[in-house]
Structure formats: C-alpha cells, structure tokens
Amino acid sequence: FWLDFSDPARCCARPRTPAAMVRFLPPQLSRLLTIALQAGVHKDGLAPSAVGAPSAGASWALAAVPDNPLAMGGPYRAPLRRAGRLPPKRYTFGVRTAQDDAVPADEALQKLIDGNKRFLAGKAETWRNVSTARLKALAAFGQKPMAAVVGCADSRAPVELLFDAPPGEIFVLRNAGNTLSNAEGSVAGSLEFSVNSLGVKLVLFLGHTNCGAIKGATETFLEAQQRKAGVRPQALLDSLLVGLSPIVEQAKLDLGGNATAEAIAAEAVEVNVFAGMQKLLLYSESIREKVKTGEVQLHGAVFDIATGEVKFLGQHPRLPLILGMSSTYAGRR
C-alpha cells in the first residue's frame, strides 16, 4: 500500500528521511517498508537509477501479504483508503511477484516487443538494476511472470536479455530446437503450470536462425531420403532429430523445387515455431480451452542471432482449425 512521506512531521516526531522513518513505525510495518526501500520501489515501478534517490516526498509501495498490518481490517489501512492511496497492481517491490496482477496477453506481447527494441538500441537497463534485495522480494512473495517463452537451448539465444526482462518477468523453457515434437512432458507440463498456476496469459515459441538442432534434423531427413530408408535412432539426440523430420519435410514442400539444405533448414525454423504451437494445443486440453476463450494466446517469433532482432510471427494461421481438433496426448508414452 502507498505510504506517503510528503509530510514527514506526521510520520514521526522529527523530520527524517524515508529510511530513517522506518525506526519510528510499528515493527511489522517497519519490516515491510524496509524491504520496499531496499528493493528500490518507486510508485511508478521504476528503479532508483531511473527516478533518482529516495526523497522525503517519495511514495513507496508495500505488498498486501497475509500478515501485513495494512491487510483488510488492519489498523493502518483505513487512513490510507480515505487518502485514496490504493495498492499498486504491478511491480510492488520493483519486480513482478505473486502480489501483482496477471498481465493480459496483448500487453505482455507489447512488453516483449518494446524490450527487444531497447535491446537493439543498446538501451537495455533491466539487468543493470538487478539487486539481491529484489531477488529476496521474489523469494519472499513468489512469482507472477507476464509470459512464458519456449526457446532453444543454444547458448547464443539468452531469452531474458533479448527482451530486456528482469528475473520474475518471463517463465523460460529451453531445449534443443525449442520443440514439442515428441510430446515432451516436461515442456508441456511446465507450460500448463505457468498458465494454470502462475496466471500466464501469453506463451511465445521462440526459434532462432542457424539453429543446430534444425540443421541436424534437415541433414538427417535428406540423407534418409537419398537412401530411401528411415533412420534408426542410436542415441537420444537421434530421436530428437528424427522427431523433427516432419517439420523438415513440411519446409521442403513449402519451398518446392530444388531447394538447398540451407534454405530448407532456414524455412524449417519458422515451421517448427508454428508446429510447437499446434503440438501444445493438441497435447494440453487445459491450455487449449483457455485459448478458445481468448484468455490465453500463443504466439511465435524467430530471433536472429547475428543482429539480436526478434521477428514476431503472430498466432497460428490455422488456429480455429486446430482448436476444433481433439487432444492427442492421451495414451502417449
């Protein structure tokens, strides 16, 4: 809740800075305010580096937690309500925590777009302002990520940095090829957790250029075609590459003619992104139902590892058709 220090004389016997005033507050309220001050939370949700150091006229935020004396019926809530100081719904402690509201899909998508623009312009600031106090706030008050991103395990594709997103902002899942081709339970199940338990409204499938998994799958598929024989997986990696074969085949059909292996692999990156969306909708009944109602959106994107630019592809072009299909996850092993 908002705690206004515009008139320090009302907060304690002698005018003090906000940090010094903590000593004059009831112990429980003092503890919460100390966390807020350490986290550097301004009423606009900006870091101190962006708004300046705390001043006697600053308003600082406190979270509405069960043991908070400002909770419903607490002795300090009524005066703040009469003063019109409503609790903030975003960035209560300078980072997104479980105390904050979920972010609608359209808004979350725009935040990702804006974050990538900052990254491209060299104006990314988020990770410079990460502090142990903010990490402690996340540990104490839980997570409420605005989006979930399925990315590749490639070390050249750091998801949070690309979108200038701090800890607690994005629920990130990564594997080789950012794929659900084999009904990976860990990925699909984790996405269900992010949507159903954490309130995520946007799921983004993020591929990238020069993807090693897609390149390997393309080579495996083309070699099998030349031999006119399938590939017998010898290792777990082989199973992954063979599982991506339908995506490579679709990419080859899309290009037609005598497309090179390099062109097929590049096309397969985007095909794989849309395939991931389709697979999730077919594997997860709960997410499919939320997409049907419009509560959740699935989007695709491709990251250029040479420039840092993220190309946003939108939702699946055949979304209505996919939503009309039945789940295919039951019975899979």
CA dihedral of 37, 198, 140, 12, whole degrees rounded to 10: 40
Is residue 330 within 8 A of residue 283, CB to CB? The reply is no
Looking at the DSSP bridge assignments, the partners of residue 302 are: 207, 311
pLDDT per position in the chain (333 positions), as tens? 344 444 444 444 444 455 555 444 555 555 555 555 555 544 334 333 333 333 333 333 333 333 444 433 344 444 443 444 555 467 767 788 998 889 999 999 999 999 999 999 999 988 777 888 888 989 999 999 999 999 999 999 999 999 999 999 999 999 999 988 665 568 999 999 999 999 999 999 999 999 999 999 999 898 888 877 665 666 777 788 888 899 999 999 999 878 999 999 999 999 999 999 999 999 999 999 999 999 999 999 999 999 999 999 999 999 999 998 766 554 433
Residue 69: its pLDDT value, please? 40
Kindly state the tokens that stand for 130: 């990460």
Residue 174: its pLDDT value, please? 94
Kindly state the tokens that stand for 59: 């308003």
pTM here is: 0.72
Residue 16: its pLDDT value, please? 45
User: Around 320, how many Cα atoms within 13 Å sit in the side-chain half-sphere?
Assistant: 0
Residue 235: its pLDDT value, please? 73
CA distances to 66, 112, 158, 243, 277 from 304, rounded to whole Å, are 45, 15, 12, 24, 20
